Amino acid sequence: MMSVIRAIRKNGKIYFDRINNERLKTNLLQALPFWLAALMTGLVAVFYAKLFSLAENITGYIIHHNKLLLFLVTPLCFLIAWWLVKRFAPFAAGSGIPQVMAAIELATPKRHDKVDKLLSLKIICVKIISSLLMVLGGGIVGREGPTIQISASIFRTVNRWLPAWWPKVSKRNMIMTGAAAGLAAAFNTPLGGIVFAVEELTKTHISYFKTALFSAIIIAGLTAQALLGPYLYLGYPDVNSQSYTILFWVIIVAVIAGLMGSIMSRLILAILKWKATFTRNRQFIFYIIACGLLVAAAGYFIDAKAIGSGKEVMTDALFTNNKEVPWYLPLLRIEGLIFSFTSGASGGVFAPSLSAGASIGALLSGWQQLSPQDTNILILSGMVGFLTGVTRTPFTSAILVLEMTNRHNVIFHLMLAGMFASLVSLIIDRHSFYDHLRISYLKKVQQEEDIVAPLPEAPQERKE
C-alpha cells in the first residue's frame, strides 16, 4: 500500500513518520458529511430567508393598504401556525434552540433514537411553514432560531443517511456543527456561529471537532453569500464620533435591557407553565385567538412597528435622522414577542430581542439628546444587552452585533454591555431562558429522570 513520508523535528533531531493513505481516506470520508450538510444548510437558509422576507412584505402591504385586515389575518395565521405544530410536529414549536440543546444532550449511544423527535425532515417542513404563517400574520418572531433547528436537522439527517460501512461520525458533533452553521448562514456571521457553538452548545473540548466546525461554517456561509451577496444583516451605522461619557450610558442601557430581557423570559416561562394546565383544545384556541387579536390591536391602534420581526425597527433607528422612538415601543415589542412565542407556533426570539433592545437604546438616547453617533452606540448596546438577558451568552451577542454592522471600533462597548447585562440578569433568574426550555423538551421526549440533566450552576460571586 502506498504511503506518505512525513518529517518531524524533535529535540533537534529529524524523524520520519509514514502516514498510511487509509487514514487520509478515513479523514476525508468523515469530513464529507459535514461539507454536504453545510452546503444544504446554506441553500435552505437562503430559500427560507427569501420566503420570510416575502411574508414580511405581504404583511407590510396589508398594513399600508387595509390595516383593518390585521384583525382577521393575524388571529387566523396564529391559529393555523399553532395547529400545524400541534398536529404534525410538536417539537417544532418556538425558537428551536432549546430543542437543539436537548438533542445534543440525548445524542448518546443509549438515547440517540430520541433525537429524531427533535430533529428531522418533518421538523424542517413544519418549522418553515409555521413560522412563515406567524410572520405573515404580523407575529413578532424571527427566522434565526428556526434556522438553527433546521440546520441541525439537516446535519442529523445526513448523518442518518450514511451507509453502515462509512467511517463513524459523531452524532453530537454533527448536531453542534449544524447549529453553528445555521446561525452563521442566518445572520451571515461566521464568528458568531463559532462563538455560539462554544458558549451555548458544546460541553466537550472544541479541539475534537474544530476542523469540521470551521469548515462547515465556511461552506454554509459562502453558499449563502454566493446566492445573497456578501451582505451585512444591518449595514454600516455611523459610530465614529465617540465621547468618554458614552461608556456610562452603555452600562445603563445594558443594565436596563438585560433586566427587561430576563423579566420577559420569566413571563414567557410563567405563561407556558400556566398553559400546561390546559386540558381542552378549546382553551388553546381561545388563548391563541386572543394573542392574535392583541398583536393586531397593537399594530392597528398604536404603532405598526409593534408587529413583525423587528428588523425595520433596528434599521430605522440606526440609519435615519429621526432616531427617537416613542416611550411605549419597547413595551409593545416585548408584549408582542410574549404573545407570539407563547402561541405555541414556530418562531425565534433572536431578531425580536435585538429589536426590543434597539428600541430601549434609542429611547434612552433620545431622553439624553445624544449625538446620532452616540445614539447608534447605545442602540447596538441595547441589542447586545437584551439578547444577553434572554440567552445569557454575552460573547455570542456581542460578536453577532459586531458582525451585523462591521463596526470593530465599538467591540469593547459591546462586550461591556454584554458583561453587565449578564451580571444583572442573575437578579431575575440564575438560569437562561433556553436552559429552562431545554429541560422542558427533555421531559417531553421521555418522562424519565435519568435523562433530564439538572440546570447548570449559575456563576457565583466571589466571597472575599
**Model confidence over 394-451: pLDDT tens digits?**
988 999 898 888 888 888 999 999 999 999 999 998 888 989 998 888 888 876 444 5
The structure's pTM equals 0.86
51, pLDDT greater than 90 = yes
Cα(96)–Cα(183) distance, integer angstroms: 12
198 shares its domain with 256: no
Q: Look up residue 421 and give its three cell numbers.
A: 447585562
315 shares its domain with 363: yes
pLDDT > 90: percent of the chain: 48
92 within some domain = yes
Condensed to tens digits (0 to 9), the pLDDT of residues 285-297 reads 999 999 999 999 9
344 shares its domain with 302: yes
42, pLDDT greater than 70 = yes
1 within some domain = no
447 within some domain = no
3 within some domain = no
CATH number at residue 432: 1.10.3080.10
Q: How far is CA 453 from the centre of its chain?
A: 22
Report the mean per-residue pLDDT for the chain.
Answer: 85
Per-residue pLDDT, 134: 96
Closest CA to 122 of 81, 150, 161: 150
Mean pLDDT of 40-59: 93
Cα(318)–Cα(284) distance, integer angstroms: 39
Per-residue pLDDT, 447: 63
140 shares its domain with 40: yes
Q: Pick left, alpha or beta for residue 310 (phi over 0 → left; psi -120 to 50 → alpha; otherwise beta).
A: left
219 shares its domain with 268: no
- The residue with greater pLDDT, 198 or 275, is 275
387 within some domain = yes
42 shares its domain with 142: yes
183 shares its domain with 322: no
4 within some domain = no
200 shares its domain with 263: no
Domain count for the chain, please give it: 2
Question: Which three-class secondary structure string do you get for the chain?
Answer: CCEEEEEEEECCEEEEEEEEHHHHHHHHHHHHHHHHHHHHHHHHHHHHHHHHHHHHHHHHHHHHHCHHHHHHHHHHHHHHHHHHHHHHCHHHCECCHHHHHHHHHHCCCCCHHHHHHCCCHHHHHHHHHHHHHHHHCCCCCECHHHHHHHHHHHHHHHHHHCCCCCCCCCHHHHHHHHHHHHHHHHHCCHHHHHHHHHHHHCCCCHHHCHHHHHHHHHHHHHHHHHHHCCCCCCCCCCCCCCCCCHHHHHHHHHHHHHHHHHHHHHHHHHHHHHHCCCCCHHHHHHHHHHHHHHHHHHHHHHCHHHCCCCHHHHHHHHHCCCCCCCCCHHHHHHHHHHHHHCCCCECECHHHHHHHHHHHHHHHHHHHCCCHHHHHHHHHHHHHHHHHHHHCCHHHHHHHHHHHHCCHHHHHHHHHHHHHHHHHHHHHCCCCHHHHHHHHHHHHHCCCHHHCCCCCCCCCCCCC
Picking from 228, 258, 280, the residue at the C-terminal end of a domain is 228
294 shares its domain with 330: yes
Lowest mean pLDDT among 79-83, 316-320, 374-378: 316-320
Q: How many CB atoms lie within 10 A of CB 68?
A: 10
Handedness of CA 417, 420, 424, 429 (dihedral sign): positive
Condensed to tens digits (0 to 9), the pLDDT of residues 189-223 reads 777 777 777 776 665 555 556 667 777 877 887 78
Cα(19)–Cα(234) distance, integer angstroms: 47
Q: Look up residue 58 and give its three cell numbers.
A: 405581504
147 shares its domain with 289: no
254 shares its domain with 220: no
Closest CA to 103 of 87, 91, 95, 94: 91
388 within some domain = yes
460 within some domain = no
232, pLDDT greater than 80 = no
176 shares its domain with 282: no
Q: Which domain holds residue 436?
A: 246-442
